[in-house]
Amino acid sequence: MALKVQKFGGTSVADIERIRNVAQRVARAYDKGDQLVVVLSAMSGMTDKLIALAEEASEIPDKRELDVLLATGEQTTAALLAMMLKSMGYKSKSLLGFQAGIKTDKSAGRARILDIEAKRIKALLDNGHIVVVAGFQGSDTNGDITTLGRGGSDTSAVAIASALKADVCEIYTDVDGVYTTDPRICAKARKINIISYEEMLEMAVLGAKVLQIRSVEFAKKYNVPVHVRSSFSEEEGTMVVNESSDMESVVVSGITCDMNETRITLKKVPDQPGISAKIFSPLAEAEIMVDMIIQNTRSGGETDVTFTVPTVDFKRAKEISEQVGNKIGAKEVLTAEDIAKVSVIGLGMKSHSGVAATMFSALAAENINIRLIATSEIRISCVIKAKYAELAVRVLHTAFGLDNPTQS
């Protein structure tokens, strides 16, 4: 008998028929003898609809009240699933965030879980119930409803799994696991059977939208085994677990591609101490997340500063950069919107040399020019022209031996 937390995302509960599919799946697991806590998202599209409603009501909706409104989405799916399970003859109860003991801080709209008082969940499990929990929500010390931000149901599930010391946290989604790269770009992409938290974090940050970043951080911190799998098949998915020694035999686990960044370069900036702070403080104040930063020293006491920002923030970032550029005496501000960031990720990099060389050679062989390079312990990212993005992903996928053997 295993204690499992199962989380089903928005597409898995998109309508009554899909919720019924979830109910049947949950019932089968219960019949096998598992103890189950089921965490649900809102029906897909629901949260966006509610946000649109709030924006009709108020240009800048009050965050506390927006959370009260958004929480109805998961309340709806949780009630419907528990209702179905009851009518199928199972003991089941839905619990909202506050009833499930999910205590958060007071940051409306992006609350962090402080603690889970799992007393009620445990009592219901001991009593043979399938416990259905509304994901994405909790309550703060005032008893006010809070939400955890986009994809927060993943975090709810992992946090509950951690509090219950569950055997596994299963994340059911519309894909059947984490892939070596985006299968829409590279037909040879393979499902990864096992991946470390660290690699998954890099994959998530870089655009593989399977798991919310914070849920992976949470899983890593409390060592919760996470199983990402499809709610539409019985196939095993991808296990996300603690790094183990045999994982390092794989040098590169995956290739990611992010098309949502834009490059800004301040040319010929006077090379003085404090110049970086002058450039990046105004961007930070405007809450623009700067990703890569490269500084090349030129001759003559001048330097070029290049960085990337999310494309959604590009317009504001450009304005700010131009103001700053004028102030500090930059000769020119250049921008490039047609860029892509291609990254190779792998725990094995820690112990294998030559990954960068392989990457650069593979791109060079296709005449793909690298504009920027950034590295972390387990990742190398190159900014290239956007038009080469798909080609680069396929070339790197082959170069690092990730191609699906049955299709290669």
Give how many residues touch a second copy by CB under 8 A: 38
Residue 216 in tokens? 């992976």
- Cβ at position 36, least distance to a second copy in Å: 17
Q: From the list 5, 145, 192, 288, which residue makes contact with a second copy (rule: CB under 8 A)?
A: 145
Q: Which is nearer to a second copy, 123 or 289 (CB)?
A: 123
Query: Rounded CA gap, 26 and 85, in Å?
Result: 9
Nearest to 96 by CA among 25, 48, 144: 144
- Cβ at position 66, least distance to a second copy in Å: 7
Whether residue 11 is annotated as binding a ligand: the answer is no
Task: Decide: is 68 part of the binding site for a second copy (CB under 8 A).
Answer: yes
Whether residue 278 is annotated as binding a ligand: the answer is no
Task: Decide: is 20 part of the binding site for a second copy (CB under 8 A).
Answer: yes
Helix axes 275-285, 314-328, angle to 10 degrees: 150
Task: Decide: is 69 part of the binding site for a second copy (CB under 8 A).
Answer: yes
Residue 406 in tokens? 């049955």
The answer to whether the CB of 182 falls within 8 A of the CB of 254 is: no
Task: Decide: is 200 part of the binding site for a second copy (CB under 8 A).
Answer: no
Within 19-91, strands assigned E span 35-40
Nearest to 228 by CA among 238, 216, 220, 236: 238
Query: Rounded CA gap, 151 and 137, in Å?
Result: 11
Residue 21 in tokens? 């599919």
DSSP state of 88: T
- Cβ at position 256, least distance to a second copy in Å: 37
Binding mask 90-129 for a second copy (x = CB under 8 A): ---xx-x-xx------------------------------
Query: Rounded CA gap, 153 and 401, in Å?
Result: 34
Whether residue 173 is annotated as binding a ligand: the answer is yes
Q: Which residues bind a second copy (CB under 8 A)?
A: 16, 19-20, 50, 53-54, 56-62, 64-66, 68-69, 71-72, 75-76, 78-80, 82-84, 86-87, 93-94, 96, 98-99, 143-145
**Numbered residues of the known binding site for ATP:** 7-10, 173-174, 179, 184, 209-210
